[in-house]
Structure 1
Amino acid sequence: MRLSAASVFFLACLALSGCTSSLGPDSLAAGVPSRETTSSVTRPSAPVPETAVPSADVGEALPVAPRQEELAWAGPVPQPQAFTPQASVAAAPSPSERPVAAPAPMAPEIDPAPRTRSQIYGHRFRDVKPINFGSSSPRKLAVHGVDVSRWQGAIDWQKLRTQGANFVYIKATDGGDHLDPMFRKNWRDAKQAGIKRGAYHFFYWCRTAGEQADWFIRNVPREAGALPPVIDVEWNGESSCKRRISPERVREKMQVFMDKLEKHYGQRPIIYTAPDFYRDNLKGAFLNYPFWLRSVAAHPSKVYPGRRWVFWQYSGSGISHGVDGRIDLNVFHGSEDDWHDWVSSAG
């Protein structure tokens, strides 16, 4: 059938419109992470000061990893050699297969400041609920420190240092989308006070390990002289994530997270844990990783028999000049010389 000129023109327009994509820029963008947040510390009754976080400091949004977990290898978790503070990161055994690396988030430039031995201040903390550890008292060890989060509020870091805070671990991130609002201020002020500091991440069992590693890397600077990053793994009733996965899955997720941090920071991460979580998931595992053990009623040798450790959190009820309320107290496993040697090798 012969078509009129008007009909030909109409059909041509219809064909062109059918070839036009219905996917605009918004529909092609990757999905954003869940905004669900977690909390690793019981909230106090008194209000805590917030610190505004400039959006320019965070950087561009990261690509969101697929929801399917990437494992560090295909097979069971290896049982490597025991950790020693002087052990080189490069000497540790490597899994046979690694996950595909995600695009590296932007990180601040490494601070090339010269490393010098910092002064060690004696322990002057008090404890609301002191424990008699007998001959194995942490007071007999030379290098004490603290860990803090937003719940300590505004801190006088110079005063806290002279009370015996020779090192501090600062809460940085939870899960894949929560940044402690005091992290940047605490990170900056602790350095200005001359305190050796590192950052820790509270691991969230309802998010992929890759997302959580990217979030930590996005927010925690890579700086010369900083202590190794910490992964905090525990069962926490205060968290919005109530999932308790199998021990094998726990270790798989931890390995993915720690592999990404080690590659980015060039430091082997430290594992912080508590007695029940350790018993359920970590006994006999990760022998070539440094451990930070919570043990507030007995020496770690009794609570974690056979486990080597670098830090011991011996109290959650410390009090000190320079900070309002209670603060966690920790100690390094070694002498002053051991501390300086460990800091030098870990950095």
Structure 2
Amino acid sequence: MKTRRRSPRRSESSGLTTFLRVARFGTLAAVAFGLASCAIAPSSSRYPMKSDARPHHGVAKAHRLPIHGVDISKWQGDVDWASLRKAGTKFAFIKATEGGDHVDSRFLENWHGAKRAGIPRGAYHFVYWCRPAHEQAAWFKRNVPADPDALPPVLDVEWNGQSVNCPKKVPREQALAMIDVMLREMEAHTGKRPIIYTDITFHKEILEGEFTDYPFWIRSTAAEPHERYANRRWTFWQFTTTGRVPGVKGDVDRNTFYGTENQWRMFVQSACDPRDYRRLAVAGKCLPLDPIQTASIDE
């Protein structure tokens, strides 16, 4: 068989075609690899400027949720709220009071800083089990502004075995009664149904089956919430205490909201978990929703 010799021009054209095909394949492969990387580490597209000093595979699901935030106290030092917002922070819970005579030394600085930066924020009270509930509620009301733009307040309930003055636990009935008083007083002060923050131990010993009409913010840093909390639906999840976010030096607690961006808008507007809105709104427990700015509760 005779072999036809190709002209130099055709040979160059063929080589160029091969090169373009290879280059195109390389580009598509790079895109595919990038998409695969996002699937493996989805947090990069949700909150791209954050990280974790000690990440745990057990809470990987938290990174796939769209609404992320932080909780802040004096231990974070000077906070650059503008940088926090720019990094993708959607909310912040700020320590305000503890017991009946302690105010976080940076509360008002953080409270006003977050608002100036446009970050929705709520104040939290840390319960001191050796102080009467009505005194703690009065202290909270005295020191936390009733800002209509704020997120619902948070009641932080956990045992504090490391406390020098009050490491003891109280009986379950007493703890529940104290919590009930403070929740009602905080709601009266702010006009919004409070959020209950708790950890695994306190929930198991005190809160299982209780306060089902309240949104829960739960701590679980090594597993998904359903693995640690029996029959507890959560609204917020604190999934690490070693987070890193621009605007905060060193470790910061990172948290996520359970739902979509639309459900987050509904929560901010109504101060109610969207899953409870229809039922609680009838009882006057939720603020009205703007139907123009929000879609279906289920979206």
What is the letter of the counterpart of residue 91 of structure 2?
Answer: F
Indicate yes or no: 2:175 matched with 1:250. yes
Does the Cα contact within 8 Å between 2:70 and 2:255 map onto a contact in 1?
yes
| Residues 8-34 of structure 1: CA deviation (Å, up to 9, x unaligned) | xxxxxxxxxxxxxxxxxxxxxxxxxxx
Aligned counterparts of 2:215 and 2:153: Cα–Cα separation in 1: 11
Question: What's the counterpart of residue 267 of structure 2?
Answer: 342
Does the Cα contact within 8 Å between 1:123 and 1:139 map onto a contact in 2?
no
Indicate yes or no: 2:125 matched with 1:201. yes
Question: What's the counterpart of residue 159 of structure 2?
Answer: 235
Question: What's the counterpart of residue 88 of structure 2?
Answer: 164
Q: What percent identity do the matched residue pairs reach? A: 49
Q: Match of 2:168, SS?
A: coil
Question: What's the counterpart of residue 319 of structure 1?
Answer: 244
| Residues 259-314 of structure 1: CA deviation (Å, up to 9, x unaligned) | 11111211111100000111110011111111000000000011113211110000
Equivalenced residues, count:
227
List gaps (5 residues or longer) in structure 2: 1-45, 272-286, 288-299
Aligned counterparts of 1:123 and 1:282: Cα–Cα separation in 2: 35
Aligned counterparts of 2:48 and 2:61: Cα–Cα separation in 1: 12
Indicate yes or no: 2:119 matched with 1:222. no
Q: Tell me the TM-score normalised to structure 1 length.
A: 0.64
Q: Match of 2:85, SS?
A: helix
Does the Cα contact within 8 Å between 1:169 and 1:200 map onto a contact in 2?
yes
Aligned counterparts of 2:47 and 2:244: Cα–Cα separation in 1: 15
For residues 85-124 of structure 1, what are the structure 2 equivalents within 5 Å?
Answer: 122-124=47-49
What is the letter of the counterpart of residue 223 of structure 1?
Answer: D
Report the Cα offset of residue 123 of structure 1: 4.6
Cα distance change on mapping 1:313 and 1:266 into 2, 3 Å: same
What is the letter of the counterpart of residue 108 of structure 2?
Answer: R
Question: What's the counterpart of residue 183 of structure 1?
Answer: 107
Cα distance change on mapping 1:343 and 1:123 into 2, 3 Å: farther
Q: Match of 2:57, SS?
A: coil
Q: Would you tell me which structure has more helix in proportion to its own residues?
A: 2
Question: What's the counterpart of residue 333 of structure 1?
Answer: 258
Does the Cα contact within 8 Å between 1:157 and 1:193 map onto a contact in 2?
yes
Report the Cα offset of residue 122 of structure 1: 3.4
Does the Cα contact within 8 Å between 1:295 and 1:312 map onto a contact in 2?
yes
Indicate yes or no: 2:48 matched with 1:148. no
Aligned counterparts of 2:237 and 2:82: Cα–Cα separation in 1: 23
The one of 113, 130, 133 equivalent to 2:55 is 130
What is the letter of the counterpart of residue 216 of structure 2?
Answer: F
Aligned counterparts of 1:123 and 1:250: Cα–Cα separation in 2: 40
| Residues 133-189 of structure 1: CA deviation (Å, up to 9, x unaligned) | 37x611111100000000000011111112221100000001000000100000001
Aligned counterparts of 1:300 and 1:145: Cα–Cα separation in 2: 17
Indicate yes or no: 2:221 matched with 1:278. no
Task: Tell which deviates more after alignment, 231-240 or 214-223.
Answer: 231-240
Higher relative contact order (CA 8 A, sep 6+): 1
Q: Match of 1:330, SS?
A: strand
| Residues 184-205 of structure 1: CA deviation (Å, up to 9, x unaligned) | 0000011000000000000000
What is the letter of the counterpart of residue 244 of structure 2?
Answer: I
Cα distance change on mapping 1:143 and 1:194 into 2, 3 Å: same
List gaps (5 residues or longer) in structure 1: 1-120
What is the letter of the counterpart of residue 265 of structure 2?
Answer: H
Does the Cα contact within 8 Å between 1:123 and 1:144 map onto a contact in 2?
no
Aligned counterparts of 1:190 and 1:290: Cα–Cα separation in 2: 22
Q: Tell me the TM-score normalised to structure 2 length.
A: 0.74
Aligned CA RMSD, in angstroms, stands at 1.5
Q: Match of 1:244, SS?
A: coil
Question: What's the counterpart of residue 184 of structure 2?
Answer: 259
